[in-house]
């Protein structure tokens, strides 16, 4: 699913109006009706309701909701932010309709007109929508602060007021919603952790915008959904053998950090690799061979082994920098030109040797968390800036950046894809090691790097979600995630 810019959101409306065809005011009525149906379904018509409207089309949506909720028997008071200009045509027409039904309509021209908002009231935020292109200021900012201080339940229509769709406003006021009823699709801003506290739970309402519009536009960012993963996942040939699915090398583990090597190895094997060799310190050979008997193991002190037909290499989990580690990395970068996976301690090497970034083979997968990304590529002030930098860097370098987070970003060729699976229970040490193993296995099996990245992060998050059927977010462990990979593969395959 494409993530649209503010301009593209408006173009989608216009496309639908032209091709359905439907008048703009009727499309507004449809959007307001969908919101009203949701509100009534969830019994919000039983609460006193305060609807705050701007004078644009988002405000027009709010007026439709107010009228329909009054007709459904709700007690509704409407407050319109007055800033000295006439509303849009559709806003004005809906205001006329509402005036015929209610006299409880108030215009806010100064803070003195701010209403008292009781805690038991429901606030509908229809002040500003996707067209907002600057931070709230003056009266609008003061009203947002007043509403936020009320602690009443707040439902935002399309986007919380003050939140840009495809940008980030530093230290700017945003209405804090308990739920956002957004139209047709998620918005980029909803994926930013800094804005997560403002959206609340998100419900996407289908208001009948024509899906054919999406094929007419190019979007810089997209969502990875289950059908995308299903289209990537390969079927296995019944006449295949272990050589069919590749021989992978994992360079991982160190004294006190062998858990990372074990988790990465198990995830790699559970993700379909044909054969796995793990390069660990000599003293840790018994650990890895006892914990993961399906893997072969070699001592890292002997240097990088020479393998004929090695499909890929994954390095970093719990690796640390012992004698010979740097030499192994340097040899790999010099001699091995197939896509690899780099994680965790591998980034320490690149942090010390920035020029080595240019030696990373084309199609390789880098999986930094935000702090690792900043150490490699420079400090960022917020997630939006970091994500935009990752996308820009992916056009400059031939590797793929997998920027880990709740909505993990895959940046490649100047575009971005956000993952839609995963949960807060995965916020534990070891989850990233499992991802490294999954990605290494997919590369070894011959998946194209970008497809391996998309399928890998989706599988990783889905396995974490499925593990919650037996666990809670507090008790979920990376090993539970790995054990759920079978169900994750099965779930995708039946799509």
pLDDT value at position 67? 98
What lies within 8 Å, CB to CB, of 356 at 6+ separation is: 333, 349, 350
For 133, other C-beta atoms within 10 Å of its C-beta total 11
* Cα–Cα distance measured from residue 64 to residue 36, given in angstroms and rounded to the nearest whole number: 9
What lies within 8 Å, CB to CB, of 240 at 6+ separation is: none
Nearest to 316 by CA among 378, 370, 386, 368: 368
- Range 2-219: architecture per CATH: 3-Layer(aba) Sandwich (3.40)
Residue 279 φ/ψ, nearest 5 degrees: -100, 110
Superfamily of domain 226-493: Ribokinase (3.40.1190.20)
pLDDT value at position 84? 81
Which residues of the chain are in CATH 3.40.50.10260 domains?
2-219
Q: Sort 85 into a burial class: Cβ within 10 Å, 0-12 / 13-18 / 19+.
A: exposed
Give the containing element (helix H, strand E) for 154. Answer: strand 153-157
pLDDT along the chain (495 residues), means of 10: 95 97 98 98 96 97 98 97 92 97 96 96 97 95 97 97 95 97 97 95 98 96 97 95 95 95 98 97 96 96 83 95 83 93 95 94 98 97 97 97 98 98 97 98 98 98 98 98 98 86
* Cα–Cα distance measured from residue 141 to residue 161, given in angstroms and rounded to the nearest whole number: 10
Contact 168, 135 (CB under 8 A): no
* Cα–Cα distance measured from residue 219 to residue 226, given in angstroms and rounded to the nearest whole number: 19
Instruction: Supply 381's token pair.
Output: 């002030």
pLDDT value at position 308? 80
pLDDT value at position 322? 74
pLDDT value at position 309? 86
pTM for the predicted model, two decimal places: 0.95
Instruction: Supply 312's token pair.
Output: 């890929």
* Cα–Cα distance measured from residue 59 to residue 78, given in angstroms and rounded to the nearest whole number: 10
Residue 136 φ/ψ, nearest 5 degrees: -60, 140
What lies within 8 Å, CB to CB, of 414 at 6+ separation is: 220, 391, 392, 394, 395
Which residues of the chain are in CATH 3.40.1190.20 domains?
226-493
Q: What is the CA radius of gyration of the chain?
A: 26
């Amino acid at each position: 699913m494409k993530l649209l810019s503010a301009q593209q959101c408006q173009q989608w409306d216009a496309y639908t109006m032209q091709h359905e065809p439907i008048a703009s005011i009727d499309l507004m009525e449809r959007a307001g009706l969908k919101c009203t149906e949701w509100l009534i379904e969830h019994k919000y018509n039983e609460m006193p309701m305060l609807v705050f409207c701007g004078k644009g089309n988002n405000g027009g949506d709010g007026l439709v909701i107010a009228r329909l909720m009054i007709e459904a028997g709700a007690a509704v008071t409407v407050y319109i932010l007055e800033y000295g200009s006439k509303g849009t045509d559709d806003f004005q027409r809906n205001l006329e309709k509402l005036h015929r039904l209610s006299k409880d309509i108030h215009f806010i021209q100064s803070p003195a007109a701010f209403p008292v908002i009781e805690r038991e009231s429901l606030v509908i935020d229809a002040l500003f929508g996707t067209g907002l292109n600057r931070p709230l200021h003056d009266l609008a900012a003061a009203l947002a602060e007043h509403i936020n201080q009320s602690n009443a339940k707040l439902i935002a229509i399309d986007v919380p007021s003050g939140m840009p769709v495809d940008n980030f406003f530093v230290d700017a006021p945003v209405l804090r919603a308990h739920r956002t009823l957004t139209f047709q699709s998620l918005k980029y801003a909803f994926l930013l952790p800094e804005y997560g506290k403002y959206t609340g739970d998100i419900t996407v309402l289908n208001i009948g915008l024509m899906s054919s519009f999406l094929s007419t536009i190019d979007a810089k960012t997209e969502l990875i959904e289950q059908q995308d993963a299903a289209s990537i996942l390969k079927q296995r040939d019944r006449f295949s053998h272990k050589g069919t699915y590749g021989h992978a090398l994992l360079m991982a583990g160190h004294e006190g950090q062998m858990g990372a090597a074990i988790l990465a190895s198990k995830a790699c094997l559970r993700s379909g690799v044909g054969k796995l060799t793990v390069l660990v310190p000599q003293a840790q050979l018994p650990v890895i061979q006892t914990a993961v008997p399906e893997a072969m193991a070699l001592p890292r002190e002997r240097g990088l082994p020479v393998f004929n037909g090695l499909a890929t290499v994954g390095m970093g989990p719990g690796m640390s920098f012992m004698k010979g580690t740097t030499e192994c990395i340097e040899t790999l970068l010099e001699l091995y030109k197939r896509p690899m996976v780099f994680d965790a301690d591998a980034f320490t090497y690149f942090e010390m040797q920035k020029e080595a970034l240019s030696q990373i083979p084309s199609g390789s997968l880098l999986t930094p968390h935000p702090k690792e990304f900043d150490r490699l590529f420079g400090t960022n002030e917020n997630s939006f800036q970091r994500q935009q930098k990752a996308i820009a860097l992916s056009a400059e370098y031939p590797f793929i950046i997998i920027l880990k987070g709740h909505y993990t970003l895959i940046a490649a060729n100047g575009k971005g894809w956000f993952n839609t699976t995963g949960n807060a229970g995965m916020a534990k040490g070891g989850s990233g090691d499992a991802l490294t193993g999954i990605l290494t296995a997919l590369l070894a099996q011959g998946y194209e790097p970008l497809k391996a990245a998309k399928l890998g992060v989706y599988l990783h998050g889905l396995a974490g979600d499925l593990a919650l059927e037996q666990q809670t977010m507090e008790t979920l462990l990376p090993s539970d995630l790995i054990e759920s990979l079978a169900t994750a593969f099965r779930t995708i395959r039946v799509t």
